[in-house]
Chains A and B, each alone.
Chain A
Amino acid sequence: MGRPVKAETVVLWSCVAVIAISGLAPIAAIAVESFQHNGHFSLDYYRELISAGRFWSLLGNSVRLALAITAVCGLIGVPAGILFAKSDLPLRFGFMWLLTVPLVLPPYFVALGWARVVGGIPQAREWLFGFGGCVLVLSSVFLPITMLLAFASVSNVDRRLEEAARVVSGWPGVLRRVTLPLSAAGIAFSLVLVFLLAMGELSVPSFLRYPVLPTLSFTQFTASYNFGAATAAAVPLAAIAFAGVVVESRFLRDRDYRFRSIGQALFISLRHWKNPLAIFVVTLCFVLVILPFGALFADAFSLAAIRDAMQRGGASVVRSVMYSAVGATILMVLGFLLGEVMLLRPRKRRTLNLLTLALFAIPGTVLSIGLVRLWNTPATWFIYATPALLILGYTAQYCAVTTRLSLAGLMIIPVSLNEAGRLSGATWARRLFRISIPLSIRTLVCAWLAAYILCLRDVPIALMTAPPGADPLSARILTLMANGTPPMIASLCLMMAVASLVPLGILALAIPSRRPAT
């Protein structure tokens, strides 16, 4: 008689199967496709791609753009995160949440807003529709990533390690020698992430007419439906994403220190710097958030515009919320189970981290092409022709986020609680439902919210995998931008913003706040 199969093993392989079906198999399918021509092995697509001058110029543009955005996000986002985490700047949490708004909405909203701001100024318009505009818009969008991850990394540094330094050194020395080195892994990870996301961004460069590599892959797919050429164009992006993830996994994870934080940060008193820094942060909020969104939503409130928007996009609003809620629920469950398995089996952690992160970093256009290629067969029509394909795309692309959030939450629970359950004879499943889940309600809610927002704001997967006539709002707005009136587009954008921000607000009020440390 063989050994009985453990429940956690079944769960582990089920999760891996979901990741494989939703993400790995589609990528493998297009990779194989790109090496075939007329049914035979061939490098023709790659030869064609490499020999085309356009490919190199687009690759150069993409790298240049991604580097510029990463630099801006690093130079502004990291200091902002540290300032919000460690200083006594007034209203710092309000500023932080305000600066986060561009991240939770589709990236092209900021571009639309800026297009309204500079509408009547030809020189400014010329600058916006090009490299400069892309850097401005995408820096606003991705800055919250570096800011929030720097905030989290710096906040997690054990207060006592800083206090030990504070006894012998002033704040600049403490920050430079203790706080920053101890949070370097998180900060570097945020920069890698911004670089990869900027490399794969499609909607903003398309809108601002700055040619980048994802556009090439997208046009090969949508205009000529040439899978091989589209894939070959997507492979460099996938390779860069994978390289970035390997760098993060190999070099940065080793510098990830575990801390026993006592829950309260050590604060820097800004004293006479308080007012100048507050003015700077207010200016930043105005330029990056209030100005573009103010311009975007300025004419969104007229009754005619709202009526028009409801007629042409009302169903998409409902669909968006529904798809995102379903996607978020699947992602929450998958992420939590993966987190639990990764905690139990540390040796699998690195591989699972690498897999999920690689799928997160791979551009949505590449993943979508793979999904369409894999599931567009008569036998799998029930997936291809339904929103299931879209949900599969969301699952593959965003499971890294819910997995990491869940793992972080689970690691806070003292191991002894689970061990006590084990000693009392509880099975893994029983411990999961009676100990881990009840102690992780906050983590689960946060994971669901993060996934909901990511699904809602997603553009490439929505654009390329939603069944005809059933597109979600982010894709619908892009389609309507060609022939809709600006007030109607503004109203649709407003609806999208409400759909994103209202659940956040309700749940923020519903979740009991963390008890202050004593």
Chain B
Amino acid sequence: MNHIDVDHVSKRFGARVAINRLSLQVERSERLVLFGPSGCGKTTVLRLLAGLEAPDDGEIRIDGRVVARVGRNLVPPEKRDVGMVFQDLALWPHMTVRQNLMFGLNARGVSKREADVRVQELLERVGLKHRIDAKPHQLSGGEQQRVALARALVTRPSILLMDEPLSSLDDERKRAIVSDLLGFQSQFGFTLIYVTHDRSEADMLAARVCHLRDAQPVGQIFSSTDSVTEFDNFTYGDK
């Protein structure tokens, strides 16, 4: 069974079509990169998967369970077991690093002792244990990225959604964070869906790439050297 099934999903914002009858399947622990130019609907796919938007048409299933269908989110975001790293990171400015990480654990009823251990471990892994009481504005750009990643992972989600999180970093920092990310994935086994318009990020992740353009998938690439040629397990329109 696929971990995620997106079945003929469309999403419109007024007259603008963000996603047009997209279908795609993602296996458990797979890495999928949604690649394409700005405005092609990549972020909308992530928001639909997270439950922050409801599809106008089609159906979304996670582990075979229907989580959204035609205009309705049947499962709210917090029950979907997803973590998300936002493009602008969305770190809560009034909370410290520790509080940013603890928020999700508290909301899920994790005991304080267990939550403390998880936060400490994760911050140690991303090299930010010494910044635990800092507020987001006191961190550098790279540190903020790591906190956002740690916050998304601390609840140990089965799906991690990342929305162009590295777009503001230089190549060296990008490589360091991608390396961390791959390490976390092999440890926790989450399914990764990563949005970018930068081909080099897709290369670093060595993932299956879904290429979107004008609200529709136009092909998939298995490595950066392949051309966009075939449709395999995702379709668009009436196909």
Contacts and interface: CB of A to CB of B under 8 A. Distances in A.
B224 to A, nearest CB: 30
Nearest to A165: B103
Interface string A155-196: 000101101111111100100011001100000000000000
Contacts of B188: none
B92 A178 contact: yes
A164 B107 contact: no
B14 A168 contact: no
Contacts, number: 68
B215 interface: no
Contacts of A161: 90, 92-93
Interface in B6-23: 13-14, 16
Interface residues of B, number: 27
Interface string A479-518: 0000000000000000000000000000000000000101
B52 interface: yes
A178 B91 CA distance: 11
Contacts of B90: 158, 160-161, 163-164
Nearest to A163: B52
B77 interface: yes
B67 to A, nearest CB: 13
B76 A170 contact: yes
Contacts of B77: 163, 166-167
B88 interface: yes
Interface string B137-153: 00000000000000100
Most chain A C-beta atoms within 10 Å of own C-beta, residue among B13, B16, B86, B90: B90
Nearest to B93: A257
A172 to B, nearest CB: 10
Interface string A264-299: 001000000000000000000000000000000000
Given A161-B92, A178-B92, A167 B83 contact: yes
B94 A164 contact: no
A260 interface: yes
Nearest to A164: B90
A158 B92 CA distance: 10
Contacts of B151: 164
A182 B104 contact: no
A204 to B, nearest CB: 38
B84 interface: yes
A173 B50 CA distance: 17
A260 B13 CA distance: 21
A357 to B, nearest CB: 24
B173 interface: no
A253 interface: no
Nearest to A257: B93
A167 B75 CA distance: 11
Nearest to A173: B107
Contacts of A166: 52, 77-78
A168 B88 contact: no
A348 interface: no
A518 B92 contact: no
A269 to B, nearest CB: 9
A97 to B, nearest CB: 25
Contacts of A516: 14
B213 to A, nearest CB: 18
A181 B78 CA distance: 20
Given A177-B103, A178-B92, A182-B94, A168 B108 contact: yes
Contacts of B115: none
A168 B104 contact: yes
Contacts of A164: 84, 86, 90-92, 151
B92 A169 contact: no
B78 A169 contact: yes
B191 interface: no
B236 to A, nearest CB: 22
A170 B107 contact: yes
Given A163-B52, A257-B93, A516-B14, A168 B86 contact: no
A163 B86 contact: yes
A182 B136 CA distance: 14
B75 to A, nearest CB: 12
Contacts of B82: 167
A260 B88 contact: yes
B94 A181 contact: yes
A181 B95 CA distance: 9
A255 interface: yes
Interface string B152-189: 00010000000000000000000000000000000000
A184 to B, nearest CB: 8
Contacts of B16: 518
Contacts of B92: 161, 164-165, 178, 182
Interface in A302-316: none
A170 B106 CA distance: 12
A160 B78 contact: no
Contacts of B78: 166-170
Nearest to A517: B13
A167 B13 CA distance: 21
Contacts of A182: 92-94
B107 A168 contact: yes
Interface string B54-97: 00000000000000000000001110101110101011111000
A178 B99 CA distance: 11
Contacts of B94: 181-182, 255, 257
A168 B76 contact: no
B84 to A, nearest CB: 5
A160 B83 CA distance: 14
A256 to B, nearest CB: 11
A266 B52 CA distance: 9
A226 B103 CA distance: 61
A14 B77 CA distance: 55
Nearest to B83: A167
Given A166-B77, A168-B103, A170-B76, A160 B88 contact: yes
Contacts of A163: 50, 52, 77, 84, 86, 90
B88 A169 contact: no
B43 to A, nearest CB: 11
Contacts of B91: 164
A317 to B, nearest CB: 44
A326 B182 CA distance: 67
A440 to B, nearest CB: 26
B14 A160 contact: no
Top 4 nearest A-B pairs by Cβ distance? Answer: A168-B104, A169-B107, A164-B90, A160-B90
12 contacts: A160-B90, A161-B93, A163-B84, A164-B84, A167-B78, A168-B103, A168-B104, A168-B155, A169-B104, A173-B106, A260-B88, A518-B14
Given A164-B151, A168-B103, A182-B92, 7 more contacts: A158-B90, A160-B90, A163-B52, A166-B52, A167-B51, A168-B155, A178-B103
